Amino acid sequence: MRADPRIAPSILAADFANLASDIELISDDIDLLHVDVMDGHFVPNISLGPPVIASLAASTDLYLDCHLMISDPLAYLGPIKDAGANGVTVHIEAVPDPRPVAALAASLDLDFGLVINPPTPVSAIEPFLDLTSMVVVMTVHPGLGGQTFLDECLAKIEELRQIIDSRALSTDIQIDGGIDLRTVKLARRAGGDVFVAGTSLFRADDPVAAVAAMRKILNQE
């Protein structure tokens, strides 16, 4: 049976000077918090790192799902765990053999997941699915919020759903980038479980209403 859909707001679109209050506003209505870590190397931008994760962990009980857009996850898993992260997802483009990172995550008791960029095929992560509790299909190019959902990535969600179900794995499929009230429906139909949304929730006039509207659509699917 399919797991219930979950909403994971991306704090990248929140007001970094008022993170706690932006999160608190919607915290009762969301399932996890998506934290985009960028190193200025794997992607051009720099966003935040362990000190901000530590402040988040101190101010909310929400699950901290840390999306590592960084070249060297092996070097940072310890500090990210110490800061209070619950799970990490790392890019297969950064670590083509993710087994050492998965082993380190397991030893740190961190949930582990793998991410594929829009041009990267499912076959790149397929051999490592057993190591993951989550796989992430990027539906925008990583590094920036507010981009348009790439419809051509839907086929990869369908492909992953089919592989995960046929192997009876418990791996969740997360969809990241350009998720709004239209695209969340497409992503759910294709087989997604966890939906990351930054701009469409935190930049909405009424973020509470925006989360409720997204939940309603997901419940109808």
Residue type, 164: I
Reported residue count of the chain is: 221
Residue 7 or 83 with smaller CB distance to ligand DX5: 7
Residue type, 198: G
Spell out the alpha helix ranges (H) of the chain: 19-26, 50-59, 73-83, 99-107, 154-166, 183-190, 199-202, 207-220
CB of 35 to Zn ion, least distance (A): 8
176 among known catalytic residues: yes
Residue 165 or 206 with smaller CB distance to ligand DX5: 206
Taking CB under 6 A as the rule, does residue 113 contact ligand DX5?
Answer: no
36 among known catalytic residues: yes
Part of the chain binding ligand DX5 (CB under 6 A), chosen from 21-29, 118-126, 144-152, 165-173: 144-152
Measured from each CB, the residue nearest to ligand DX5 is 198
Taking CB under 6 A as the rule, does residue 198 contact ligand DX5?
Answer: yes
Using CB under 5 A, which residues numbered 159 to 218 contact Zn ion? 176
> 3-state DSSP call for residue 33?
strand
Part of the chain binding Zn ion (CB under 5 A), chosen from 54-62, 66-74, 143-151, 185-193: 66-74
Pairing of strands 87-91, 64-69: parallel
CB hemisphere CA count around 202 (13 angstroms): 26
Residue 80 CA from chain centroid, whole number: 15
- Between 35 and 54, how does the x/- string for binding to Zn ion read (CB under 5 A)? -x------------------
Number of residues that bind ligand DX5 (CB under 6 A): 22
C-alpha–C-alpha distance, residues 210 and 10, integer Å: 14
* Spatial CB neighbours of 217, under 8 Å, sequence gap ≥ 6: 181, 184, 185, 188
Residue 15 or 165 with smaller CB distance to ligand DX5: 15
CB of 2 to ligand DX5, least distance (A): 23
The two three-digit tokens of residue 134, written as one number? 């989550």
Taking CB under 6 A as the rule, does residue 70 contact ligand DX5?
Answer: no
C-alpha–C-alpha distance, residues 143 and 44, integer Å: 7
C-alpha–C-alpha distance, residues 125 and 2, integer Å: 21
Catalytic entry in 36, 172, 180, 193:
36
CB of 200 to ligand DX5, least distance (A): 6
C-alpha–C-alpha distance, residues 58 and 150, integer Å: 35
Catalytic entry in 111, 176, 180, 193:
176
Binding residues (CB under 6 A) for ligand DX5: these are 10, 12-13, 34, 36, 67, 140, 142-147, 176-179, 196-200
Give the catalytic positions in this structure: 36, 176
